[in-house]
Amino acid sequence: MRFDSIEEFASKLKHYTKRKSSYYQYRAKTPFFTKTYYVGRYNSDNIPTYYVNIRNEVVEDILKTIKNKDYFSDILSRDELVLLDWIRAIFFTGLGYFSKSEMEEYEDKEFTRYVHGTTAIEGNTYSLRETCLSLSENQIVEGKPIREFHEVHNYQKLREFMGTKMDHKVSIDLIKKIHQFVLENIDDEAAGYFRNIMVGIRGSNFTPTPAILIEEELEELIRDYYNDLENFHPVESIARFHQRFEEIHPFIDGNGRVGREIMRIQLRSHGYPFLYIGKEHRERYLKALDVGNEGNYRDLVSFVVSLIIDEFFEHTKYLRDSLNELLESEEFKELIARQDIPLTEESQSNFEELVNYLKVLYEDSPKRVSFVQRV
């Protein structure tokens, strides 16, 4: 999710006539709210000016929302919650300055990195470069199992099915459809179907949900997730959902990949970038899930938060310096001025690095950050 480019903005303007007045309205969809704005008198020559004015209004409203929003959490501190909202606010604003071609390139690179991570954590041996070639050119790597090609390439088919829509609603049908794509040409008989037998989780003593109760518990989980969003921060709600989804373990195979894909969709719908969880995170990730199996969500929530902070630092290298509109605000200056924000031990070093980077970006505002090749 990002702020519309000026072309998108112009295409979404609604023209209204009331008595002798003729004017534009614009409906802005942000990670925080959807709101209709009065733009100005009907005059196509003024659209660039209208665009800047509305963008500033939207940013101002986002800042007010962040300042006034009060989430419930016994895991995350107030400063962590504010930081998480600042991250998605900066992404929403910053990505709006990408041209269409820049945005496509950015999306392709981050999708490739995401797929490489989520498959590698399950044992796939494709390199980042090989993953890129598999996704973009259907290239099979000689000497490696054909299964590994399908594990990677299936995500391209899934991506085409999902399209560009960012706010897919989680449902039983969507979960099954994701699984169908993930296991295509790997286990076609099981693809898209819940298991009908009891299973165990490798390396864990936890017993997943009995097969007969899978659909019922998934429906309850989905209801709880959307109810949680009324009070909990989206990141915490998403982490809780992921934990419970993996506990239900609805499929014979592919539960981790499906669960992480749902988490990707959920985070994207709330304005966060692709979340990279790779082989190097495997031990921490599985340990957090093991602790969660005992009813303690703290480790998994903290793990996801630390990765989001780390990813933010990585992704902001590609955002143009125009997001200084946010970074120059008094609220943000106050936030980064506080060096003693109480984060979890895992994310403390990432946060310190993030603060230092943002200070440099803020102080070096005239310099534009180029889009760097990564694959």
Between residues 82 and 131, which one has the greater pLDDT?
131
Inside any domain, residue 171: no
Please report the pLDDT score of residue 366 as a whole number. 33
Q: Mean pLDDT across the chain, nearest whole number?
A: 84
What are the distances in angstroms from CA 274 to CA 77, 277, 310? 24, 10, 12
Please report the pLDDT score of residue 329 as a whole number. 59
Inside any domain, residue 186: no
Q: pLDDT tens digits, residue range 93-126?
A: 877 777 788 788 888 999 999 999 999 999 999 9
Inside any domain, residue 31: yes
Inside any domain, residue 30: yes
Decide which of 25, 47, 68 is a domain's last residue: 68
Domain range spanning residue 334? 69-98+295-375
pLDDT at 257 > cutoff 80: yes
Decide which of 124, 140, 164 is a domain's last residue: 164
What are the distances in angstroms from CA 294 to CA 198, 244, 282, 285, 290? 20, 11, 19, 15, 7
pLDDT at 338 > cutoff 60: no
- DSSP strands (E only) in the chain: 14-18, 21-29, 34-41
Q: pLDDT tens digits, residue range 15-44?
A: 999 878 899 999 999 999 999 999 999 888
Task: Name, in order, each residue with C-beta under 8 angstroms of 266's C-beta and a sequence gap of 6 or more.
Answer: 170, 234, 238, 241
Please report the pLDDT score of residue 19 as a whole number. 79
Please report the pLDDT score of residue 363 as a whole number. 46
**Least confident span in 98-107, 287-296, 297-306:** 98-107
The count of structural domains within the chain is 3
Q: What percent of the chain has pLDDT over 70?
A: 82
Inside any domain, residue 217: no
pLDDT at 69 > cutoff 60: yes
| Confidence bin at 368 (pLDDT 50/70/90) | very low
Q: pLDDT tens digits, residue range 217-246?
A: 999 999 999 999 999 999 999 999 999 999
Distance CA 156, CA 111 (A): 9
Partners of 132 in beta bridges:
none
This prediction has a pTM of 0.84
Inside any domain, residue 81: yes
Backbone angles phi and psi of 142, in degrees to 5: -65, 140
Question: Could you tell me if 299 and 359 lie in one domain?
Answer: yes
